[in-house]
Chains A and B, each alone.
Chain A
Amino acid sequence: MGIYDNPSVPILSIVTFIPLAGAIILMFFDRENTGTIKRFATGVALVDFLISIPLWIHYDPNATGAEMFQFRETVDWIPALGVKYDFGIDGIALLLILLTTLIGWIACYCSFSAIEHRQKEYYILILILQTGMIGTFCALDFFLFYVFWEVMLVPMYFLIGIWGSTRRLYAAIKFFLYTLAGSVLMLLSILALYFFNDGGIPFLNIQGLGNEPTFSVLQYHEIGHLIPPTLQFWIFLGFFFGFAIKVPMFPFHTWLPDAHTEAPTAGSVILAAILLKMGTYGFVRFALPILPDATKELLLPIVILSLIGIVYGALVTLVQKDMKRLIAYSSVSHLGFVMLGMFALNPMGIRGSVLQMINHGISTGALFLLVGIIYERRHSRMIAEYGGLAKQMPMYATMFLIAALSSMGLPALNGFIGEFTILVGAANSVHFGTMWYAGIAALGIVLGAAYLLWLYQRVFWGPLDNPANQKLPDLNGREIATLVPLVVLMVWIGIAPKVFFDTIEKPVDYIVQKVDRSYFDKQPMTYPESSPAGKHVAESR
């Protein structure tokens, strides 16, 4: 396995561009030969997943500072602007990449029978999307990050628009425009950072630092705290629109139910599992460490929006009649948790937040997969159409139960670990200063149990009285194969999360240290004396 330690092997580029290479090869296939096309695409995604696994083995979780970003590749791309092709991952990106490659394979494999027309374009787009997503997590250059970020948009637009259900055009364009509007505002923030690092903005009397022009994220991490608070505020606002729309935070979530509901199964799975994580990843990688003052200044509104998202999302979920829409709204609620934990700004909260990103990807990904399976058989997502499925499809019912329990945070499954850590972090956060936020968030867990169990009850229990449901076949081998890895992960994280926490421990500490520069200084001291001293240090910088 020397290739993973050999710096001359661009392993991250390989992982990133294998799907794209596969997509290009796929373009030369005969469009009638659908069997080969889908097997080839799934094979490419599987190979990519297998290649990405050893990254975790070779990742050194004890590295700190800039060395934490491993498997670095740095090549000049546009020297005139200081743009570099700069790849490197820390534990957070690593886990998200592994999730992406796994979900990519599942997305291909689960579409074998669901996609019945234009298969060639479908698999090409999924593979291009994979490259965009993996590249986004790998990029340590803001320009490069933006390029990958935008590249993701187009394939997803087509996936929803071509293979979606009835209102697909509306959903696709809504998804595209919402996300694009946010990301162009983010571009302006990137530009402001760029000029601050370089020559400043003389017209507005903003002194620059006079450094070499660069888009390096690590450099921005270093200079972030030097940015005057007013400028930080505006830059943060740009980031906020870019990321909050993607998360999506209340009130920017309205594109999500439409996109999720109309997208084909694989599209929903990728959207829920990976694309939403782009927003939270953006916050944790860029907004927090680069803009510590603005983060703290805007903490309260963001936390309030997160709490509204948790409770409102859960309440809206309760009344949904469409299974896919129900799970889509539950994402709003779950992502509210992720944001809440993150803005606790302590290691516990952010660790829980990062783990919950993974958990949500696994649980909600599995739920969308399961809804897709039943939709493929019955072509209906309406809860009222079902009932008593547990008798007819016991295996399916079991899988659904595990995924639902994981999603609602039952102990011994992954959701519990994430939500519990987040609540502990939120309850202890000095920035919140109150237990109430954690308390309100806990309400979301109760409501989560309510809507998921009620959904389960209506769909799987009761009499099997709809004749259309009486001959439904249970899961086939392929469907089991797509679900088993996710179920294994749910149990693994639920029982033994240590290895996951170890991987993200140092990266999370790094972020906490950036956003709250005195956090670790004041920890060893006892509480009352330490606080003013710590504060003083923070202000003098």
Chain B
Amino acid sequence: MNWSDVVFIVPEIVVAAGASILLLAPVTVAGPASHSAAKRSMLALLAVTFASVLVCSHLVERIDQTPAFAATFALDSFSVFFKLLFIAAVAMVVLLSDDFLREARYSPWEYHSLLAFALCGMMFMASGVHLISIYVGLELMSLSSYILAGYYKNEAKSTEAAMKYFVLGAVSSAILLYGISVIYGVCGSLNLADISTALSTVLTNDALVLGILLLAAGLCFKIAAVPFHVWTPDVYEGSPTPITAFLSTASKAAAFAIFARIFYTGLHHFHLDWSNVIAVVAALSMIVGNVAAVTQNNVKRMLAYSSIGHAGYGLLGIVAMSTTGIGAVLIYTLVYVFANLGIWATVLMLRRHEYAGEQVDDFAGLHLRAPFWAFAMVIFLLSLGGIPPTAGFIGKYYLFAAAVQAGFGWLAVIAVLTSALSMFYYLRLVVAMYLREGKEAEVAITPPLKLVGAVCLVATLLLGVLPTPLIHQVEQAVRWTAARAAVTSHGGR
């Protein structure tokens, strides 16, 4: 190991050290219940991490060339894009958790520490160019998430969610790991670049097909794509709402990051073999997710099914396997994270019981109680539905464009029609907010929620009207990845 490699992982070191300190803080310096101190420490940690990602990516002169640590860890613009997105998303989740932690009276330090560990795992996932480093990052994120999903320790629903999530997650990790081992058997390496080189001379064989299928199955579980989606509604419903927000945004974005990285830089030679399989998964996810969401009355379950549908949309970019496609995944992930976090912020404003804003009816008459946030909610929902001039349209545009360009016309048709269908249940919330008389329910619009809502609203509108800066960032991120794919490729496009 070269000592200068350490520069690459300074942000991860910061997060991991910070997470450990957060864990120890209540027994040493601060009292266990000092809620706001915990929150402030966590936000400070995130700010430092954010800065260190920016600084380190500039410091790394070899950026976009050689990954560090025996070619297992890359600090490229692709990973920087995702890391910054993760940090921003986690910061917003921290703000969303404010009320939950204050009322639930569970240790805020532990909670934030777990979030920080999950963030650390996600950052390793974004940077991993070696299947084991990716896997370790994924496990760190998943284990932290299992605990967080059960953080309502006294609620049966939350414990049930954690249990289901853990059991199914562990199985899917095992499947993923098995796929990795089979691929190792075929290629003799776990480094994505080496896998790509090895595969360029290999003909399709059964072992490889098995390995890719198992790998894809494991990843599809993580992004909640059909038929590996059954855990999603229960886990989303049972988890504390801020954690649902975390699972449906940051965690999902991280899974998409490794999905894109592994398939694009490692397995692109067998694109023609696996693309049809992934295309079917994408089609099923879009259809099942959006159709099932129509009948849900529980907002969290509705959004869970919607997120299954969105996993299908994201897969379009991976199916296309082009620079447009991967760029689309990046753009879509980002706009989806902002729109979704905005929605969760609004849901939390309706907080009345342990589980906030659960039923569609809870939104009734919101336009009278909170006109501005009802409007913001409409924008977020339109963004998820892909209606211009919101950012969601730019994201969906890119995905559809990638699918059409790659010749997956049938998939694009399914995508646009389910996307139209999705507006049906998004509009149910709009109907509740604007067209139905509200019950006299209180809303708790706290400053942290306002901040998250405002950031998401500005991002959703701004990126919808002026998407050029984002597109530039994404193009840069993808160009590098594409170049790496082309190093060892003769057919990669």
Chain A residues packing against B (C-beta within 8 Å): 78-81, 146-147, 150-151, 153-154, 157-158, 161-162, 168-169, 173, 176-177, 180-181, 184-185, 187-188, 191-192, 194-195, 199, 201-204, 234
Contact = CB atoms under 8 A, between A and B. Distances in A.
A203 B420 contact: no
B388 A177 contact: no
B73 to A, nearest CB: 30
Interface string B393-421: 10001001100111111001100110111
B420 A161 contact: no
Given A184-B416, A203-B407, 13 more contacts: A154-B378, A161-B431, A168-B435, A169-B431, A177-B424, A180-B420, A187-B416, A188-B400, A188-B409, A191-B400, A194-B401, A195-B405, A204-B407
B368 to A, nearest CB: 10
A151 B388 contact: yes
Contact of A80 (B405, B409, B471): B471
B58 interface: no
A37 B423 CA distance: 31
Interface string B420-441: 1101100100010011000000
A151 B424 contact: no
Contacts of B413: 185, 188
Given A80-B475, A162-B434, A188 B420 contact: no
A184 B420 contact: yes
Contacts of A204: 407, 409
A188 B427 contact: no
B448 interface: no
Interface of B: 378, 382, 386-389, 393, 397, 400-401, 404-409, 412-413, 416-417, 419-421, 423-424, 427, 431, 434-435, 467-468, 471-472, 475
A80 B472 contact: yes
6 contacts: A146-B388, A157-B427, A180-B387, A184-B386, A191-B404, A203-B406
B468 A80 contact: yes
B404 A195 contact: yes
Contacts, number: 85
A154 B378 CA distance: 10
Contacts of B471: 78, 80-81
A512 to B, nearest CB: 30
Contacts of B427: 157, 173, 176
A150 B393 contact: yes
Contact of B404 (A153, A154, A201): A201
B196 to A, nearest CB: 21
Contacts of A185: 413, 416-417
Contacts of A177: 420-421, 423-424
A79 B469 CA distance: 10
B435 A162 contact: yes
B475 A147 contact: no
Contacts of A194: 401
Nearest to A173: B427
Give me the 8 closest cross-chain CB pairs, A-B, nearest first. A203-B407, A184-B416, A147-B388, A181-B420, A180-B420, A80-B471, A191-B404, A204-B407
A161 B382 CA distance: 16
A465 B1 CA distance: 100
A32 B58 CA distance: 55
B423 A180 contact: yes
A187 B412 CA distance: 10
Contacts of A187: 397, 400, 416
Contacts of A192: 404
Contacts of A181: 417, 420
Nearest to B375: A27
Contacts of A154: 378, 382, 387
Contacts of B409: 188, 204, 234
A147 B407 contact: no
A79 B468 contact: yes
| Most chain B beta-carbon contacts within 10 A, residue among A173, A184, A194 | A184
| Most chain B beta-carbon contacts within 10 A, residue among A153, A154, A187 | A187
Contacts of A162: 434-435
A150 B388 contact: yes
B468 A78 contact: yes
Nearest to B397: A187
B424 A173 contact: yes
Nearest to B419: A184
Contacts of A195: 401, 404-405
Contacts of B406: 201, 203
Nearest to B474: A80
Nearest to B418: A184
A201 B467 CA distance: 25
A68 to B, nearest CB: 28
A191 B415 CA distance: 14
Contacts of A79: 468
Contact of A151 (B389, B407, B408, B467): B389
B475 A188 contact: no
Contacts of A161: 431, 434-435
Nearest to A178: B420
Nearest to B408: A203
B144 to A, nearest CB: 37
Contacts of B419: 184
A539 B401 CA distance: 32
Nearest to A198: B405
A176 B421 CA distance: 10
B393 A169 contact: no
Contacts of A234: 409
A95 B407 CA distance: 40
A207 to B, nearest CB: 13
B416 A201 contact: no
Nearest to A157: B427
Contact of B387 (A150, A168, A188): A150
A151 B401 CA distance: 20
Contacts of A184: 386, 416-417, 419-420
Contacts of A81: 471
Contacts of A203: 406-408
A181 B386 CA distance: 12
Given A161-B434, A181-B417, A188 B404 contact: yes
A195 B401 CA distance: 9
A422 to B, nearest CB: 33
Contacts of B378: 154
B290 to A, nearest CB: 12
A56 to B, nearest CB: 29
A188 B393 contact: no
B51 to A, nearest CB: 28
A106 to B, nearest CB: 25
Nearest to B467: A78
A80 B469 CA distance: 10
Nearest to B320: A203
B423 A176 contact: yes
Nearest to B423: A180
B434 A201 contact: no
B493 to A, nearest CB: 8
A58 B386 CA distance: 38
Contacts of A173: 424, 427, 431
Nearest to A147: B388
A480 B387 CA distance: 39
A146 B389 CA distance: 10
Contact of B412 (A157, A158, A169, A188): A188
| Most chain A beta-carbon contacts within 10 A, residue among B416, B424, B434 | B416
Contacts of B393: 147, 150
Nearest to B427: A173
Contacts of B401: 191, 194-195
Contacts of B400: 187-188, 191
Contacts of B407: 201-204
Nearest to B402: A191
A332 to B, nearest CB: 23
A461 to B, nearest CB: 40
B466 to A, nearest CB: 8
Contacts of B420: 177, 180-181, 184
A319 B357 CA distance: 47
